[in-house]
Amino acid sequence: MDIKECKFETIAVHAGVQPDPTTGAIMTPIYATSTYVQSTPGEHKGYDYSRTANPTRTALEASIAGLESGKHCLALSSGCTGTDILCHFLEAGDHVVSVDDVYGGTSRLFRTVWARHGVETTFADLVNHNLSDYVRPNTKMIWIETPTNPLLKIIDIEKVVQQAHKLSPKPIVVVDNTFASPYFQSPLALGADVVLHSTTKYLNGHSDVVGGALVFNDDNLKAKLHHIQNSIGGVPGPFDAWLVLRGIKTLALRMKRHEENAKVLAEMLERHPKVERVIYPGLKSHPQHDVAKRQMKGFGGMITFFLKGNLATSRNFLERVRLFALAESLGGVESLIEHPAIMTHASIPAETRVKLGISDTLIRISVGIENVQDLQRDLELALG
Ligand X SMILES: *Cc1c(COP(=O)(O)O)cnc(C)c1O
| Binding region for ligand X (CB under 6 A) | 78-80, 103, 105-106, 145, 149, 176, 178-179, 198, 200-201, 210, 212
Instruction: Characterize 287-318 residue by residue with b for buried, 16 or more Cβ atoms within 10 angstroms of its Cβ, and e for exposed.
Output: ebbebbbebbebbbbbbbbbbeeeeebbeebb
Give the integer Cα–Cα distance in Å for 226 and 203.
Answer: 21
Q: Rank residues 80 and 142 by Cβ distance to ligand X and give the closer one.
A: 80
Give the integer Cα–Cα distance in Å for 358 and 351.
Answer: 10
**Is 103 among the residues known to form the active site?**
yes
Q: Name the active-site residue from 51, 222, 224, 274.
A: 51
CB of 368 to ligand X, least distance (A): 16
Give the integer Cα–Cα distance in Å for 29 and 284.
Answer: 46
Q: Rank residues 16 and 79 by Cβ distance to ligand X and give the closer one.
A: 79
Q: Name the active-site residue from 111, 140, 201, 353.
A: 201
H or E segment and range at residue 302: strand 302-307
Q: Rank residues 255 and 383 by Cβ distance to ligand X and give the closer one.
A: 255
* 3-class secondary-structure state, position 18: coil
Q: Rank residues 340 and 383 by Cβ distance to ligand X and give the closer one.
A: 340
**Is 47 among the residues known to form the active site?**
no
CB of 353 to ligand X, least distance (A): 17
CB of 177 to ligand X, least distance (A): 8
Name the strands in the sheet holding 172-176, side by side, starting at the edge strand that comes first in the sequence. Answer: 72-76, 212-216, 194-198, 172-176, 139-145, 95-99, 120-124
CB of 244 to ligand X, least distance (A): 11
Q: Rank residues 63 and 98 by Cβ distance to ligand X and give the closer one.
A: 98
Q: Name the active-site residue from 31, 103, 183, 202.
A: 103
Burial (Cβ within 10 Å: 0-12, 13-18, ≥19) of residue 174:
buried
Q: Name the active-site residue from 100, 176, 193, 378.
A: 176
91 closest CA partner among 129, 140, 128: 140
Q: Rank residues 106 and 314 by Cβ distance to ligand X and give the closer one.
A: 106
**Is 208 among the residues known to form the active site?**
no
CB of 209 to ligand X, least distance (A): 9
CB of 25 to ligand X, least distance (A): 29
Give the integer Cα–Cα distance in Å for 267 and 256.
Answer: 17
Please give the residue whose beta carbon sits closest to ligand X in the complex. Answer: 79
Q: Rank residues 211 and 282 by Cβ distance to ligand X and give the closer one.
A: 211
Give the integer Cα–Cα distance in Å for 207 and 39.
Answer: 41
Give the integer Cα–Cα distance in Å for 344 and 279.
Answer: 18
Helices first, then strands: H and E counts in the chain: 13, 12
Identify the bridge partners of residue 143 per DSSP, sorted by sequence position: 98, 174
**Length of the chain, in residues:** 384
**Is 201 among the residues known to form the active site?**
yes
CB of 277 to ligand X, least distance (A): 22
CB of 142 to ligand X, least distance (A): 16
SS (H, E, C) 70-98: CCEEEEECCHHHHHHHHHHCCCCCCEEEE
142 close to 155: Cβ distance less than 8 angstroms: no
Q: Rank residues 16 and 150 by Cβ distance to ligand X and give the closer one.
A: 150
* CA distances (Å), origin 55, targets 10, 17, 79, 115: 22, 11, 21, 36
Give the integer Cα–Cα distance in Å for 199 and 185.
Answer: 15
What are the residue numbers of the active site? Answer: 51, 103, 176, 201
